[in-house]
Structure 1
Amino acid sequence: MWNQSSRCANFIIKRQPGLGGQAGLRRWLSAPRLCVVGGGPAGFYTAQHLLKHHDRAQVDIYEKLPVPFGLVRFGVAPDHPEVKNVINTFTQTARSERCSYYGNVAVGKDVTVGELQQAYHAVVLSYGAEDNRVLGIPGENLAGVHSARAFVGWYNGLPENQHLKPDLSCETALVLGHGNVALDVARILLSPLDLLRRTDITASSLAALACSKVKRVWLVGRRGPLQVAFTIKELREMINLPGARPVLDPADFTGLGNAVKDAPRPRKRLTELMIKTALEKPAEKTEAAAAREWGLRFQRSPQEVLPTADGTRARGVRMALTRLEGSGDSAKAVPTGEVEELECGLVLSSIGYRSLPLEPALPFDPQHGVIPNSSGRVLGAPGLYCSGWVKRGPTGVIITTMNDSFDTAQSVLEDLQAGVLDVSAPREGFGAVGSILRSRGVRPVSFSDWEKIDAVEVARGKAAGKPREKIVDPEEMLQVIGH
């Protein structure tokens, strides 16, 4: 087992007689060149652990976009700036003399995984979940229906979502899903503008929200209150949102007080807060002040997005009412045969993210949307590893990704120590990859280039009274750094 507390390679070798004398010593002391694909939390945490626990490892991080940090930049809600503080840790990692960042490089297109494997002793795939799960129901492609992932990308400045133009001219929006992302999008839709103006939300989405007519958001789930996936912090934030009133039906919570007595504490507290909110009678003054409202609807499964008379837009969703079979997290929602229609002009589907294969030849499990692996070691592909959502599926928070990425990095370190990864022959790393990219007309963006983009964004934000004003066009990002 890799000894994390030992800083001296010679000490570890003495403890490992199987390393093969001087040949083993040379192999261990030659500098491993390691490559991480993906500049989000999983990629940076993997790099951080490798650099911290191997004094000679050199790690190169490749990212498709010019800008780093993945979901910390593009997924975290703009009114949650404290979650973005991990960027400071990632910046320290990127500034290490043994770490290099290469943005604006699409692995699988600009350079293949096979070419990376020729240039590095090990390659870790940490590129996350770049797609969303589909509903698979009629009307899903009507105007007014979007994935929550695309909506989040729109207000957070993800380049691929900047032309989304969600229709905010309706009064009622429907969010399908009961997770934290569902609460995020509902909160952004109903937040007072003066709160949003002080965040790093994009200028264009802020302008669109300023004209929004949405005053009611229903969050709909297939299962019951005991199966919601959001956490108490996000629920409390939603309940306390200024100018918005929670509408929860007490009948949905009948008998649940007893059912959660023996539940784990987080589930118990969450359910108790929902029950308390459902039973509370809002003061008249508060109710009058709350021009907007939101609510949770349970045991409803979407069957069809209903079109307007001209067949072009969404006007509502037909729901199958469900009953639960089983209990707790494993409870299944089964249609009862009854249906109801909910009117709305905007439908946001928040039923999960999905990873995609980088290249057709790479091992990939399409059913679960992950790369088949054992502790991050890609099955059937020696020297190839994975971490983050593409390893375990799109679940958990940043700390989950951190622990998961450390676990994968540990597997790489163990394989280096055991000689599974042969580092006796040096690899060229970016020396080889850079030549390939030049020949294909690709100009990578360095971390110091990113810091120039960062400085421009912060300066523009300061002028507008915001933490930053994100540049949303990759071409403009490249212009800023003189590419």
Structure 2
Amino acid sequence: MLPVARLGSRLVQTSTLRGIRLPLLASAHFSSGPIGGPRVAIVGSGPAGFYTADRLLRRAGAASQAAPEADGSATSAALRIDILESLPVPFGLARHGVAPDHQAMKQCINRFDALLAEQREAAESATGQPQLRWFGNVTVGAGPPAPCGAPVPEGPPPPALSLAALRSAYDAVILAHGAQDGRDLGVPVVDVATGRPLHATSRGTAAHGAALERMLVNLLPARDFVCWYNGQTDHTECPVPALAAPAAAWLPVSASELAPGLTGVRVAELPAGAGARALVVGNGNVALDVARALLRGDRAFEKLDVPRAGVLEVLRRHAAAPGDRRIRHVEVIGRRGPAEVSFTISELRELVGAAIARHAGQAPDPEKFPLDAADPPGEEVVLVVPEKALVLQALDAAPAPARPRVRLLALLRQAVEAAVDPAEEPNVYARAGRTLTFRFFAAPTAILAQGVATPVEPEGPSADGCPASYYQVAGLRLGLSTVDPATGRATPRNTGTGLETQILLPASVVLTSVGFRVGALDDEAPIDTAAGANRLAHDGQGRVLPAGEPQPPADSSGSSSTALAPVYCAGWAKTGPVGVIASTMADAYATADVVWEDLAARGGTRVDTAPGFEGLPIDHSQAITAAQWALLDREERARGEAAGALRDKIPSRAEQLRLSRGGSASPE
């Protein structure tokens, strides 16, 4: 029996997810009369989009029940919501961003899918009209140009709409498209052969508006790697050649290969035969997800919801490669100290729990750590923490943490105490089958690049706008800081202390997990240009501001006369890429309340012609409906069941469209 919570005058079922009580979605409401009343478009079908729709349906249902004879009752009961999605599949971050081995965090998909099922039933009914509809393969706005090396969509482009077109067909438009791009490091790229910078990494200076940083083989945002193993549309090829095709060519450079200008800094190279090293820059949950995937490989995803041919086969080939060709060493790099990490305790425990147990002389619990417990001798993951004493000092000096972080930092201390300091055991990388290194107080100051074929020539792009030749990443140069004994925070190192201030880390792969970037879909909905902002410009309540409009103070409610009505934003598009699914739900509800109150203040419907999706200037036959998505969903589940897995995702856009439209699967 599900617990029940009261929301206003309605009883709402709730579920508990990792100790957080989340209200389940309201049932869709249907009207047997003609479609009328206000029409709302939501751009993006991730958690923010679905939760916003859910809240609006709740408000409409509550209003019609509370005042069935009031003037606004027809408006409430006849509310129509269309969710528009650029991909042929729904659920956004919940499907493509949450790690496959974190199925509990994907439970919201079940409720979203139930809502779509009710939509399908209403569409098939002779009398019912769904209040909520989903349309996939519909793009709003042109968006920024794809960076060089980004996946190229298959087949014809999906129907594209301007924000102005949506505004002419709906009474309110809500942008819930999230953050589509990973942030770059934004540091110089240095040629290891010459010691000189190759090119500035600021966007807009290289072909296609992409940084040289995006043109380096085996260097990419962690998001791209996550999209690949999660089977996001168009991410059909492994973006890490060193993983997909282990070879000597991808092994890290040695100190002897570095230019004289780089050799004044200590080079922390791996011993010969130790295999390849991957650097993950960032100290958040995504960084740990990526580290876990690299270390556990195919065993972690065997029975879960990943593309079996495109992901599992690649990971299996990598696991079967000779040890001196495989990625056996993963290093997580944070510019701040251990007390300032942003990952959660559950993410950390998955990675370090077994090592802590072994340090205490115990075997890993096979129920809690089944993969670690099954590691063959010599393949156990060894924890490594450089400058271990400094890290423990930082934990000692840190102010008392807020209650939710007490257990996290206690576990992190256990991990540091169980780790090996390479200064005390220099041969750790030679003896260990695999290592996981946590390096704190280290900020990238340069990306090391090694020439492949001919150097990149930004002035001479190929026909597609991207350079025809490239470099591969060779590692990072890190600037090192130390701990402020008064605060436990990072502070610059003084050269007079005897501590080294820089270090070179040769590596085969560098994955950057330093945050996401919210993109503007349309010039009418600009990005907030305030210092440090990474969201759409809005009035503080989700009303999007027009281009050139100054941002009001944080406590200002704004007004409909100055906002770009009727355009709103929700989720990461509104807050920036922060928080988890539960916080996204709360924000989506807040935006929905603002939209509802604005609709009520305007008296409901504003548009008299070309209402809703049917009035949009696109080829409607190219859009995917919820009923068509159900066909693809059924096929993925069936393929997964046949292989003993939850699902076999299909990342090919062409295949997604073919199966959604009732076509047969392509031959294997």
Q: TM-score range by the shorter chain?
A: 0.7 to 0.9
Using the TM superposition, give the Cα deviation of residue 30 of structure 1 relative to its aligned residue in structure 2, in angstroms: 6.6
Distance in 1 (CA, whole Å) between partners of 2:43 and 2:102 is 27
Using the TM superposition, give the Cα deviation of residue 194 of structure 1 relative to its aligned residue in structure 2, in angstroms: 2.9
Q: 1:302 aligns with which of 437, 440, 444?
A: 444
Q: 1:39 aligns with which of 34, 45, 63?
A: 45
1:182 aligns with 2:287: yes
Decide whether the 8 Å contact of 2:180 with 2:517 is kept in 1. Answer: yes
Distance in 1 (CA, whole Å) between partners of 2:479 and 2:589 is 43
Distance in 2 (CA, whole Å) between partners of 1:450 and 1:332 is 49
Q: For residue 301 of structure 1, what is the amino acid of its counterpart?
A: A
Q: For residue 654 of structure 2, what is the amino acid of its counterpart?
A: E
Query: Where is the helix percentage greater, Structure 1 or Structure 2?
Result: 1
Q: 1:348 aligns with which of 492, 498, 511?
A: 511
Q: 2:573 aligns with which of 375, 381, 390?
A: 390
Measured against aligned partners, the alpha-carbon deviations of 1:185-243 in whole angstroms (never above 9, x if no partner) come to: 00000115333211112221222222331111000011100111101110001113613
Measured against aligned partners, the alpha-carbon deviations of 1:87-115 in whole angstroms (never above 9, x if no partner) come to: 11112333342100010000125111111
How many pairs are equivalent? 450
Q: 1:101 aligns with which of 114, 131, 134?
A: 134
Bigger relative contact order, structure 1 or 2 (CA pairs below 8 A, ≥6 apart):
1
Using the TM superposition, give the Cα deviation of residue 135 of structure 1 relative to its aligned residue in structure 2, in angstroms: 0.9
Point out the more displaced range, 38-47 or 262-271: 262-271
Q: 2:351 aligns with which of 231, 235, 238?
A: 238
Point out the more displaced range, 341-350 or 255-264: 255-264
Q: 1:247 aligns with which of 378, 384, 387?
A: 384
**CA pair 281-61 structure 1, distance change in 2 beyond 3 A:** closer
Unaligned runs of 5+ in 1: 8-28
Distance in 1 (CA, whole Å) between partners of 2:572 and 2:335 is 24
Q: 1:280 aligns with which of 397, 418, 421?
A: 418
Provide the residue aligned with 1:18 in structure 2. none
Structure 2 counterpart SS, 1:296: strand
Provide the residue aligned with 2:409 in structure 1. 271
Decide whether the 8 Å contact of 1:4 with 1:53 is kept in 2. Answer: no
Distance in 2 (CA, whole Å) between partners of 1:376 and 1:327 is 40
**CA pair 52-326 structure 1, distance change in 2 beyond 3 A:** farther
Once superposed, what is the RMSD of the aligned Cα atoms?
2.7
Using the TM superposition, give the Cα deviation of residue 363 of structure 1 relative to its aligned residue in structure 2, in angstroms: 2.9
Aligned residue runs from structure 1 range 19-98, under 5 A: 31-55=37-61, 56=77, 57-94=79-116, 95-96=118-119, 97-98=130-131
Distance in 2 (CA, whole Å) between partners of 1:174 and 1:281 is 18
Structure 1 counterpart SS, 2:217: coil
Using the TM superposition, give the Cα deviation of residue 165 of structure 1 relative to its aligned residue in structure 2, in angstroms: 3.4
Provide the residue aligned with 1:17 in structure 2. none
**CA pair 247-422 structure 1, distance change in 2 beyond 3 A:** same
Measured against aligned partners, the alpha-carbon deviations of 1:321-350 in whole angstroms (never above 9, x if no partner) come to: 124679879x56647572101121000000
Point out the more displaced range, 255-264 or 177-186: 255-264
Structure 1 counterpart SS, 2:534: coil
Measured against aligned partners, the alpha-carbon deviations of 1:326-384 in whole angstroms (never above 9, x if no partner) come to: 9879x566475721011210000000111111112323225623111221111230111
**CA pair 376-325 structure 1, distance change in 2 beyond 3 A:** farther
Distance in 1 (CA, whole Å) between partners of 2:226 and 2:345 is 21
Point out the more displaced range, 445-454 or 287-296: 287-296
Using the TM superposition, give the Cα deviation of residue 463 of structure 1 relative to its aligned residue in structure 2, in angstroms: 1.5
Provide the residue aligned with 1:476 in structure 2. 655
Distance in 2 (CA, whole Å) between partners of 1:382 and 1:149 is 33
Q: 2:233 aligns with which of 151, 159, 169?
A: 159
Using the TM superposition, give the Cα deviation of residue 6 of structure 1 relative to its aligned residue in structure 2, in angstroms: 4.9
Distance in 2 (CA, whole Å) between partners of 1:456 and 1:233 is 32
Using the TM superposition, give the Cα deviation of residue 254 of structure 1 relative to its aligned residue in structure 2, in angstroms: 2.8
**CA pair 327-466 structure 1, distance change in 2 beyond 3 A:** farther
1:149 aligns with 2:223: yes
**CA pair 38-333 structure 1, distance change in 2 beyond 3 A:** farther
1:372 aligns with 2:537: yes
Decide whether the 8 Å contact of 2:391 with 2:440 is kept in 1. Answer: no
Point out the more displaced range, 337-346 or 399-408: 337-346
Q: For residue 292 of structure 1, what is the amino acid of its counterpart?
A: R
Larger Rg: 2
**CA pair 424-294 structure 1, distance change in 2 beyond 3 A:** closer
Decide whether the 8 Å contact of 2:338 with 2:395 is kept in 1. Answer: no
Distance in 1 (CA, whole Å) between partners of 2:413 and 2:630 is 47
Identity percentage of aligned residues: 37
Q: TM-score, normalised by structure 1?
A: 0.86
